[in-house]
Structures are given as structure tokens and as C-alpha cells.
């Protein structure tokens, strides 16, 4: 069985166990598989493996095509649910702000504090970024103004990283087109931040441990909103996580795929045959297969379907 047969839709440990199962057909739970192991429970919970045999003593996998379809459907359902929560949270935020037109009144809204000056917003950003103990999500866009202070480049504190905190930095693609932007992302990655890019980032935000968030409300950077409302924080977390899933690692930005190659992978992910792709693109079947081989190598995918799924998840398509 090829590695990554489930296209990264489960944990690496669950993937390895699934591959063992499909290689051997079935494994006895009490001999080869730890029934209580997280990867065993993950496969069972996802529905891609089930107990069978006498006394349910075997762990059996379902077929790879059926497993992929099940996992993709599950991801889609999760995406729809997150989008619904995002819409609900946004309506809550707009409703609260719309009822209070001046900033003095808005500062009294439960869970939202307006920060009116750039200096205060910059200081708060530095404070929040350094306060993470578990997970810090940060989104950056060049379309929004930033206070030109020594703290413009926020770096993860070594002590926080050593204690297990994760820092996720999501930058719009414009950062890669200018030297200072590339340097900023490089320095952040070296300091320990996981750096990704996305074509567009609609605003600037720092979300710390799902407890506090600083969000720019306009392209001027002001007013900035300090959010502590649990409902709105869940909305912001969902918003960031959805963008993160549609982003690409900065290490992969030099992958030499042409537009034609990416178009072929997109059609492949849609389930079209080589012949259909060749006919629609006006190229030979041999050229289609060459494009697919290049894309599979670039994505580290062992199967054609996995290449399509991986490219979609990376935000290539």
C-alpha cells in the first residue's frame, strides 16, 4: 500500500495503522494493535476501520476509495458547520457595533473594547503576542497600516516556545514580493513561528489562547478591537482556521508547477480521466500524464487522487 493513501486526512499515526491494515487485510486487536491507542480510536471514530471477526476480535479497514470519500465528506460537513458559526458570530459582532455608533459607548459593550490610537494598538499587539501559553494565531496583511515602531516585527518569545506554545503566522502573498516582507517571514520562521501564506488576508488579527483577540476594524488600522467575548472568539478562531487550511507553507512557494500543471491537477481532483483532461485542454494524454507525475512528485503524493486532495488542502487550486 502506498504511503499517504488517505491524503493527509487523518493523523500520521492513524495513516500508518491504516496502511498496515490494508497491507495485511486485518490485524488481531489483542496481538498487533493497541485497541486503546489514539490512532486505533481515530480510525474507528472516522469510520474507516471497524471491528469484525469472531467476538469483534479483528480491526478491519474499509477500501481506500470509500475511506477517502467518507473522510472528504466529513471534512466538508465540518467546513459547512464552521462557516455557519462564522456567519453567526459576524452577525453578532455587527449587531453589537451597529447599536453603538460612537467609540465611547462601544467600549462598554460586553466583550469588546475599542482601542482608539495606533500607539495603544501597537503596544497591545506586543503585549498579546508575548502572552501566549498554548496557541497564538496571527494574521498579517500589507493592506492595513502599521505603527512604525521597533515592535513592528513580532517574534515568538523563546520561553513560550520552550513551554510548548505554538505560534501560527498567516501572511498575505504580497509579503513575498518585497525584500522586507520576505525578511519578515523568514525571521519569524527562524524564531519559531509556523509561517504560511495566503493570496488574501482581509484584516490584521492576533488571537491568543482563544481568550483574547486584537482585530483591526479598518484599513487604517483603527479602531482596533480587543475582543474577549467567547462567542466572538470562537468566530475569529474558525475564521483563522479556515484561512489556514487554504494557505500554503512558505517553504513550498518555489515548487515549479506551471499554470497548466495546476489546471490538470484541479481536473484530476474533480475525478476526470486523463483522456477527458487532454480533450478539454487540447493537449495529448502523454502530456497530461507528465503534468500529473510532476505534481505528484512536488506534493509528495503516492496516488493521483491524493495529489488532487493535497493540492486543494495546500491552497494551490
Task: For residue 223, say if its preceding peptide bond is cis, omega within 30 degrees of 0.
Answer: yes
pLDDT digits (tens, 9 = 90+) for 167-192: 999 988 788 777 778 788 878 888 88
Kindly report the number of other CB atoms within 10 A of residue 256's CB atom.
Answer: 7
> How high is the pLDDT of residue 32?
64
pLDDT greater than 90 at residue 254: no
Q: Quick one: residue 310, left, alpha or beta (phi over 0 = left, psi -120 to 50 = alpha)?
A: alpha
Helix (H) or strand (E) holding 49: strand 49-52
Confidence of residue 248 (pLDDT cuts 50, 70, 90): low
**Domain ranges (residues) in the chain:** 12-67, 100-251, 256-313
Pairing of strands 205-208, 248-249: unpaired
User: Which residues, in sequence order, are bridge partners of residue 226?
Assistant: 113, 214
pLDDT greater than 60 at residue 270: yes
> How high is the pLDDT of residue 117?
85
pLDDT digits (tens, 9 = 90+) for 302-311: 677 667 666 6
Domain 256-313 has CATH 1.10.10.10: yes
The structural architecture, per CATH, of the domain 100-251 is 2-Layer Sandwich (3.30)
Q: Are 160 and 132 in contact (CB under 8 A)?
A: yes
d(CA 138, CA 213): 9
> How high is the pLDDT of residue 211?
96
> How high is the pLDDT of residue 256?
54
Looking at the chain, the whole-number percentage of residues with pLDDT higher than 90 is 13
Amino acid at each position: 500500500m502506498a504511503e499517504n493513501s488517505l491524503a493527509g486526512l487523518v493523523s500520521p499515526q492513524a495513516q500508518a495503522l491504516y496502511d498496515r491494515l490494508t497491507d495485511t487485510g486485518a490485524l488481531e486487536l489483542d496481538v498487533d494493535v493497541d485497541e486503546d491507542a489514539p490512532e486505533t480510536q481515530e480510525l474507528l471514530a472516522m469510520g474507516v476501520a471497524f471491528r469484525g471477526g469472531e467476538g469483534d476480535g479483528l480491526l478491519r479497514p474499509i477500501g481506500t476509495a470509500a475511506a477517502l470519500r467518507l473522510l472528504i465528506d466529513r471534512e466538508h460537513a465540518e467546513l459547512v458547520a464552521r462557516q455557519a458559526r462564522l456567519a453567526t458570530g459576524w452577525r453578532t459582532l455587527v449587531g453589537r457595533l451597529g447599536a453603538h455608533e460612537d467609540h465611547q459607548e462601544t467600549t462598554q459593550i460586553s466583550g469588546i473594547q475599542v482601542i482608539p490610537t495606533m500607539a495603544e494598538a501597537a503596544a497591545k499587539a506586543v503585549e498579546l503576542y508575548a502572552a501566549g501559553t498554548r496557541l497564538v494565531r496571527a494574521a498579517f496583511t500589507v493592506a492595513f497600516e502599521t505603527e512604525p515602531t521597533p515592535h513592528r516585527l513580532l517574534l515568538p518569545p523563546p520561553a513560550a516556545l520552550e513551554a510548548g506554545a505554538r505560534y501560527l503566522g498567516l501572511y498575505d502573498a504580497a509579503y513575498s514580493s518585497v525584500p522586507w516582507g520576505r525578511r519578515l517571514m523568514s525571521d519569524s520562521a527562524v524564531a519559531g513561528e509556523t509561517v504560511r501564506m495566503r493570496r488574501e488576508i482581509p484584516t490584521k488579527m492576533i488571537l491568543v489562547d482563544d481568550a483574547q483577540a486584537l482585530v483591526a476594524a479598518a484599513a487604517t488600522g483603527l479602531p482596533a478591537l480587543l475582543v474577549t467575548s467567547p462567542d466572538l472568539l470562537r468566530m475569529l478562531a474558525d475564521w483563522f482556521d479556515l484561512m489556514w487550511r487554504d494557505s500554503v507553507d512558505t517553504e513550498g512557494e518555489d515548487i515549479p508547477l506551471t499554470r497548466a500543471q495546476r489546471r490538470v491537477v484541479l481536473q484530476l481532483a474533480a475525478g476526470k480521466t486523463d483522456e477527458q483532461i487532454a480533450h478539454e485542454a487540447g493537449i495529448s494524454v502523454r502530456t497530461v500524464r507528465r503534468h500529473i507525475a510532476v505534481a505528484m512528485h512536488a506534493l509528495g503524493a503516492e496516488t493521483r487522487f491524493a495529489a488532487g486532495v493535497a493540492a486543494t488542502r495546500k491552497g494551490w487550486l
